[in-house]
């Protein structure tokens, strides 16, 4: 579902306690990496993307069965778990302009000569947005830029209301599901989303098939389920969509859109946009179509009709296990989805193809005598595109067991050419940096860590940032929002997670279109699957290290430092909002807005606003200080332990310590969850209510401030503080155990 | 020639020594303002723009004679001064693409139905760039963005040379003459300049005739004379182009382009740009045409042929005088050009129409008994568009007398709707702020000063800037670069100058095209000439205050503060260049550029550069400190004088003091002029060698640093320091005279 982001990063020393075990670990690791073969990844990609294979399609099932067979062949204990989920598909799709001139949208991606899979029209899903409600509306059109809340503030300043209109928003700046959500909140009765060539088309580069970018007929399909409330099957929130699960009535579902939505190409959008009058759109709103962008409303008047088959469909998750030899009840999980909107050679097949190569090589190691200490589970998710259905239902179904056993989840979702991108739990920052130092970049004679570091140096925004990148042993990793299958693991259950992928040299515009296929991928992306191999090496090395580590390689130093930064950000957010409102009120009083407005253009000056109160950040300040002291103590204890060498911790002590480390991410969750969305239980990371994919860190507090809910912000500060105090307590308990074990050892 | 810039600003108390005289002055001022009539300005604009009237055309001469008759009618002592200048006009213009497909450029602006003057094709000058050399070249095409030096650095990083190619540059980011100059320096053999719709076309707003903006056939004519070397007639640098002046041989002229140049529309540019391959242009290079912008070279190959009639043409300047009653040898001069590229209802007729209304009302005041103390000279310049020909030749012809007598030059050049823009000598900053406080904005119930201040508050980039705008009694004015008729006055002779005009709500795209006509102006710009009246009130009030002041209203406080700022800027420029080079060298050493380059794209890493030396800023530090002390002393003396009331200075002392004030701008010049361009004698303000219109302050030092000429920079610091010491000496001498006069007075 998600394209690889820009969050770049990367460990220095993996805190393996047992030096001997570490050495052996590295042997298996090197062997693992040298056994990966990019040709296999190519063959996987070719096979899995050969036909359209969306949720519920014949080839989706065929692929699941093929993957199952491979896992079994490689020695995994594998099975398919099937869930029954609500997955609407289009019955009618109709968009026409009824005035001032008429035009009927094509809503069709044509076959491209030379591209052998683009003609599989009988199997292709048409262009649509999943979980749009049925609708049949006719109304004047309004252009709302990206359709995010700030755009509606601008409309208000221009005196334009979208009430009773159909809005047309361009893709970008937020996850697509935000656009109809915000439009409906402002009274719109329909929503069209189009790919503007400025962001996703000829402005960026030559279009397909000459080049990699979106052509005028390409359409971005995609889900518009209100996933910031809960992802997964809309009918079974919080529980697995098993055969006999209790299901909501369709009318009681809160996560469908409120208004009908349809995605279109820029070829279809241009006639509509050309027929808007009213104010010229602000400069930052203008795209690359050869027109003057106006806002409207109208005169373009459009008729939009969409209806759907509201059917249950089977989701086929492939789950493959190697049981751990020492700690079978500690699970290291790896996943990537296998369903696609159409052929999906990039999204997601480039990712699952690498994951399968990892699994093949792990199978090879098994044959060579390797036995992982922990249980390894490889997953191929289905129904990710509609709303993370396969992974969410599996997690919800196995929630109790996962809460007890899951150590780590490593996700990928598509892959490309370029630089390693890594996001995840900050307790894993040092770990994944270490992995990245072990992987060679296939284009350059250096590690992917080094290449990322040098990229970050070149992109640093200030000399201070640049100095930090040069000095800090680890590159920072991004926090996880949503948009892929880690969501249920980290956000619902608090399982430490990572999301990995390569990109940055693989620009293109075929996302969620029929042109995301093997022809495109092998002409414009990671053509020889060299980065596919790098991803298999990265994912596999991470799995091996975690599965075989004596002491689990979680680290609290980078985590605590990151939390300190988030706290500073929150304070700065609050103070800059104060300053902004104070300044704006002053300018209203001075008459700035009336003085500078052009009398020949309509504009509405902003209204005076109450100055926000000062918030009580003291609970967070105290909790983060406590966390910081606990982290220091733990790091000192760990250092002493390492210096003491082997066998400092006996089996039981180690097992207990590992259990505490495993629970450190769980401790960051709260059973009540976030305000208004109890499914989201992580108190540090969540997708934003109005960003969709984009993360909000310490989300309870941050979103309360952003939405100017001052009382709520004060309450959420107390809740977040409690979480960090609990985390500090857990870390202190781990330290006490190490200290006790060391004493008893040195006492011997 | 020049569109009104964005430099906004504005006096507090005019230091009139004689309170009685001030009162009388204000009476005449108010009367002046109330007698201005916008209907007259409309009639002037309609008459003067009724037919094409470029230099040498029949209607240009008719207009000069009509203006002469008006001045005479209003009681001015007026005449036409004629010079003979080199003014090439097109003989052949031809541009075709010869491969990979063929296309012949239209090079023609069609008649627009409903626009009654756009069909005067027999009188219209075709689209061309004046002072391009003759040429006939065929070569592959390269897109060079704006064609400024930084763009060639980017080409170098991409491994692309323009040697032997024809470049196509878009208008913008520099004065147009810079583009062929820099292209030729890099080995190009031809230059095409086009108006990209991103900067000047449908991206900005609806195109003419539906809207105000440039349509696909509109072309920007304009001069490409190398004016940063010297403006005016190319054959007579530094002397008036009188009938018998000694003229250079055409082959000895240094200010023609080195390669043929032709401007084209975006309609003509699109087929050429569409046929470029090679790298995709960097994002900031991409315009609004519906294509993927590539750099080339080729495969588009173009054939460009331009030849010209290299004829002398008569320039008709209208010069109209009211002799001063008290100080006839102190001249206050006002000017605006009257020639246009075609009809020029905006450029320049909107400006000269307001100036003529000023003259009419001054004539009215004369009839009512007003007698200005100083001589007032109103000018209507010819041949501005080709290279400031009329004003430069007049100034060069009368240089000796002007150096003795000129107190002030006030320029305008076009006018629009919106906010007052003012640039000029910083000794006039307080003065023009005072004028602006006296003018009412025609749209809002406030002074144009207040409206400008509120605009600046809304646009301030930092809280510090905003606080300054609120606190500082005067708004800052911009420094003068070039592009209009003040150039010879300030830059060649050191006559304190101002450039005034309204704009900011008058967006459009008819600059230097046939569509800059009365129809366009009255539909899209200052439709009812309300701001034409405001300009007449602003210019007239300024002229009246200066002509009638007892003590000339120069002020050194704002000037000295501005010089201090320039000095800080120079130091910052030097230190940031050091830091930048130091960082880049470090990144080269670290391998950043090779690590991050995409192996599938060609790129050349930058070369290591020597670290610039520290410069010796001490001479400037010392001189500016001296200037600062002198300014403080003068301000104290002036305050005491004001407190002492009337008659503190007798006639001779006042005359001597005024003479010193008058010479304060002259003192900022150096007879040797700037390095490589002796015509430019002002040591504080000059147009940039590589900006053309854009100002470089303390240009000797600044351009030496920018061009990494470190020895030269140290030398220029010494030269600039001397100028500020001389200025301080002049101010001290004025202070000594005031002190002496006051003592002798109090001694009585």
DSSP-assigned states of every residue in A132-200: PPPEEEEEEEEE-TT--HHHHHHHHHTT---TTSEEEEES-SS-TTHHHHHHHHTT-SEEEEE--HHHH
From B582, B595, B576, select the one nearest B706 (Cα to Cα).
Answer: B576
User: In whole angstroms, what is the distance from residue B557 CA to residue B627 CA?
Assistant: 10
Collapsing DSSP to helix, strand or coil, A103 comes out as strand
Give A156's contacts (C-beta < 8 A, 6+ positions apart). A604
From A234, A231, A242, select the one nearest A488 (Cα to Cα).
Answer: A231
Task: Say what the pLDDT of residue B5 is.
Answer: 42
Q: Considering only the beta carbons, identify the residue of A451, A458, A592 that sits closest to B454.
A: A592
- Dmax over CA atoms of chain A, in Å, equals 91
From B425, B451, B447, B412, select the one nearest B33 (Cα to Cα).
Answer: B447
User: In whole angstroms, what is the distance from residue B614 CA to residue A638 CA?
Assistant: 50
Q: Considering only the beta carbons, identify the residue of A450, A579, A596 that sits closest to B458.
A: A596
* Chain B: closest CA distance from residue A172 (Å): 17
| Whether B292 and A202 lie within 8 Å, measured CB to CB | yes
Size of interface A-B (CB pairs under 8 A): 94
Q: Considering only the beta carbons, identify the residue of A206, A454, A592 that sits closest to B592.
A: A454
Structure confidence by residue, pLDDT tens digits, A469-512: 999 999 999 999 999 999 999 999 999 999 999 999 999 999 99
The answer to whether the CB of B501 falls within 8 A of the CB of B414 is yes
B89-310 has CATH 3.50.30.30 classification:
yes
What are the boundaries of each domain within chain A? Answer: 19-82+316-553, 89-310, 558-747
Identify residues of B whose CB sits under 8 angstroms from chain A CBs.
Answer: 197, 202-207, 211, 213, 280, 286, 288-292, 418, 443-444, 446, 450-451, 454-455, 457-458, 463, 466, 505, 579, 583, 587, 590-596, 598-600
Q: Considering only the beta carbons, identify the residue of B280, B291, B595 that sits closest to A444.
A: B595
Mutate to test the interface with A, among B457, B588, B596, B599 (most CBs of A within 10 A): B596
Task: Give domain B558-747's CATH superfamily.
Answer: Transferrin receptor-like, dimerisation domain (1.20.930.40)
* Chain B: closest CA distance from residue A566 (Å): 24
Task: Say what the pLDDT of residue B742 is.
Answer: 78
Considering the entire predicted model, what is its pTM?
A: 0.94
| Whether B205 and A455 lie within 8 Å, measured CB to CB | no
Q: How many CB atoms lie within 10 A of CB A398?
A: 17
Mean pLDDT by 10 residues, chain B (748 residues): 44 36 73 98 98 98 98 98 98 98 98 96 97 98 98 96 98 96 98 98 98 98 97 98 96 97 98 98 98 98 98 98 97 98 98 98 97 98 98 98 98 97 98 98 96 97 96 97 96 98 95 98 98 98 97 97 98 96 96 94 91 96 98 95 74 93 98 97 96 91 96 97 98 94 64
Q: Considering only the beta carbons, identify the residue of B197, B458, B599 that sits closest to A592.
A: B458
Question: Rounded to 5 degrees, what are φ and ψ at A446?
Answer: -160, 170
* Chain A: closest CA distance from residue B440 (Å): 13
Count the alpha carbons within 13 Å of A448 in the hemisphere toward its beta carbon: 32
Structure confidence by residue, pLDDT tens digits, A159-172: 999 999 999 999 99
* Chain A: closest CA distance from residue B266 (Å): 12
From A154, A748, A260, A668, select the one nearest A426 (Cα to Cα).
Answer: A668
Chain B hits for A212, Cβ within 8 Å: none
| Whether B291 and A202 lie within 8 Å, measured CB to CB | yes
Task: Say what the pLDDT of residue B378 is.
Answer: 98
Chain B hits for A277, Cβ within 8 Å: none
User: In whole angstroms, what is the distance from residue A278 CA to residue A687 CA?
Assistant: 35
Structure confidence by residue, pLDDT tens digits, A357-405: 999 999 999 999 999 999 999 999 999 999 999 999 999 999 999 999 9
Chain B hits for A288, Cβ within 8 Å: 288, 290
Is residue A20's pLDDT more than 90? no
User: In whole angstroms, what is the distance from residue B517 CA to residue B505 CA?
Assistant: 18
The answer to whether the CB of B563 falls within 8 A of the CB of B668 is no
From A516, A89, A510, A170, select the one nearest A343 (Cα to Cα).
Answer: A516
Quick one: DSSP state of residue A480? P
| Whether B450 and A286 lie within 8 Å, measured CB to CB | no
Average pLDDT over residues A298-302: 97
Chain A hits for B593, Cβ within 8 Å: 458
Task: Say what the pLDDT of residue B23 is.
Answer: 57
The answer to whether the CB of A152 falls within 8 A of the CB of A174 is no
- CATH code: domain B19-87+313-555 is 3.40.630.10
User: In whole angstroms, what is the distance from residue B327 CA to residue A337 CA?
Assistant: 90
Task: Say what the pLDDT of residue B693 is.
Answer: 79
Task: Say what the pLDDT of residue A429 is.
Answer: 98
Structure confidence by residue, pLDDT tens digits, A90-115: 999 999 999 999 999 999 999 999 99
Q: Considering only the beta carbons, identify the residue of A205, A466, A599 that sits closest to B292.
A: A205
Give percent of chain A with pLDDT exceeding 70: 95
| Interface confidence (ipTM) of the complex | 0.94
Task: Say what the pLDDT of residue A693 is.
Answer: 79
Buried b (16+ CB within 10 A) or exposed e, A52-75: bbbbbbebbbebbebbbebbeebb
Class of CATH domain A19-82+316-553: alpha beta
User: In whole angstroms, what is the distance from residue A307 CA to residue A730 CA?
Assistant: 52
Task: Say what the pLDDT of residue B499 is.
Answer: 98
Structure confidence by residue, pLDDT tens digits, A128-162: 999 999 999 999 999 999 999 999 999 999 999 99
Give the CA distances from residue A179 to residues A176, A187, A692, in Å, rounded to whole numbers and listed in that order: 6, 12, 10
Chain A hits for B290, Cβ within 8 Å: 197, 202, 288-290
Is residue A6's pLDDT more than 50? no
Task: Say what the pLDDT of residue B748 is.
Answer: 42
* Chain B: closest CA distance from residue A201 (Å): 9
Dihedral angle over CA of B332, B338, B340, B344, nearest 10: 100
Identify residues of A whose CB sits under 8 angstroms from chain B CBs.
Answer: 197, 202-207, 211, 213, 280, 286, 288-292, 418, 443-444, 446, 450-451, 454-455, 457-458, 463, 466, 505, 579, 583, 587, 590-596, 598-600
Band (pLDDT 50/70/90 cuts) for residue A24 is: low
Q: Considering only the beta carbons, identify the residue of A202, A587, A598 that sits closest to B458.
A: A587
């Amino acid at each position: 579902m998600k394209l690889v982001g820009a969050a770049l990063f990367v460990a220095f020393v993996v805190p393996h306690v047992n030096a001997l075990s570490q050495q052996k670990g590295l042997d298996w690791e090197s062997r693992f990496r040298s056994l990966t073969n990019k040709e296999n990844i190519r063959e996987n990609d070719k096979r899995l993307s050969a036909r359209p294979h969306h949720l519920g399609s014949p080839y989706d099932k065929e692929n699941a069965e093929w993957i199952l067979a491979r896992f079994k062949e490689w020695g995994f204990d594998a099975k398919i778990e099937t869930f029954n989920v609500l997955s609407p598909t289009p019955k009618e799709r109709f968009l026409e302009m009824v005035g001032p001139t008429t035009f009927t949208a094509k809503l069709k991606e044509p076959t491209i000569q030379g591209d052998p899979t683009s003609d599989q029209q009988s199997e292709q899903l048409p262009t649509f947005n999943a979980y749009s409600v049925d609708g049949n509306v006719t109304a004047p059109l309004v252009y709302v830029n990206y359709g995010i809340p700030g755009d509606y503030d601008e409309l208000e300043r221009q005196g334009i209301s979208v009430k009773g209109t159909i809005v047309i928003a361009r893709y970008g700046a937020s996850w697509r599901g935000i656009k109809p959500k915000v439009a409906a909140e402002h009274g719109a009765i329909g929503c069209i989303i189009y790919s503007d060539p400025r962001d996703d088309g000829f402005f960026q580069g030559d279009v397909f098939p000459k080049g990699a970018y979106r052509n005028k007929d390409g359409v971005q399909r995609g889900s518009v389920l209100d996933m910031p409330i809960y992802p997964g099957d809309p009918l079974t929130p919080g529980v697995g969509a098993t055969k006999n699960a209790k299901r909501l009535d369709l009318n009681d579902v809160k996560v469908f859109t409120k208004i009908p939505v349809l995605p279109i190409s820029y070829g279809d959008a241009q006639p509509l946009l050309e027929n808007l009058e009213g104010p010229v759109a602000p400069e930052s709103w203008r795209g690359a179509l050869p027109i003057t962008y106006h806002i409207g409303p109208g005169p373009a008047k459009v008729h939009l009709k969409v209806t759907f088959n509201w059917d249950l469909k089977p989701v086929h998750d492939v789950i493959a296990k190697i049981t751990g030899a020492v700690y079978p009840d500690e699970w290291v999980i790896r996943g990537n989805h296998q369903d696609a909107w159409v052929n999906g050679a990039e999204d997601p097949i480039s990712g699952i193809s690498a994951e399968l190569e990892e699994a093949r090589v792990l199978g090879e190691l098994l044959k060579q005598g390797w036995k992982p200490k922990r249980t390894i589970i490889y997953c191929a998710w289905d129904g990710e595109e509609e709303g993370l259905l396969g992974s969410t239902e599996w997690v919800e179904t196995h929630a109790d067991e996962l809460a007890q056993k899951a150590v780590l989840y490593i996700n990928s979702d598509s892959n490309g050419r370029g630089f390693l991108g890594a996001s995840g739990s900050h307790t894993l920052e040092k770990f994944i940096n270490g992995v990245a130092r072990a992987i060679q970049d296939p284009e350059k004679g250096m590690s992917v860590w080094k290449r990322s570091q040098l990229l970050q140096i070149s992109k640093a925004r200030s000399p201070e940032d640049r100095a930090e990148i040069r000095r800090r042993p680890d590159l920072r990793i991004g926090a996880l929002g949503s948009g892929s299958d880690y969501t249920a693991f980290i956000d619902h259950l608090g399982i430490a997670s990572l999301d990995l992928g390569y990109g940055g040299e693989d620009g293109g515009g075929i996302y969620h279109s029929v042109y995301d296929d093997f022809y495109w991928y092998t002409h414009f992306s990671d053509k020889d699957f060299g980065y596919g191999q790098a991803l298999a090496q990265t994912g596999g090395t991470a799995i091996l290290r975690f599965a075989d580590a004596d002491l689990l390689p979680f680290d609290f130093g980078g985590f605590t430092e990151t939390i300190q930064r988030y706290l500073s950000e929150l304070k700065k957010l609050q103070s800059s909002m104060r300053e902004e409102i104070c300044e704006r009120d002053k300018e209203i009083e001075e008459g700035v807005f009336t003085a500078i407005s052009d009398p020949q253009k309509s504009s509405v000056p902003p209204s005076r606003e109450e100055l926000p109160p000062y918030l009580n950040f003291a609970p967070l300040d105290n909790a983060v200080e406590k966390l910081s002291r606990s982290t220091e103590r733990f790091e000192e204890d760990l250092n002493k332990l390492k210096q003491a060498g082997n066998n400092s911790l006996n089996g039981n002590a180690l097992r207990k310590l590992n259990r505490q480390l495993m629970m450190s991410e769980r401790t960051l969750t709260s059973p009540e969850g976030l305000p208004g969305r109890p499914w989201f239980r992580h108190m540090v990371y969540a997708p934003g209510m109005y960003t969709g994919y984009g993360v909000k860190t310490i989300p309870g507090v941050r979103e309360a401030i952003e939405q100017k809910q001052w009382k709520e912000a004060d309450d959420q500060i107390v809740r977040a503080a409690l979480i960090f105090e609990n985390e500090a307590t857990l870390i202190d308990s781990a330290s006490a155990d190490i200290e006790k074990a060391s004493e008893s050892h040195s006492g011997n």
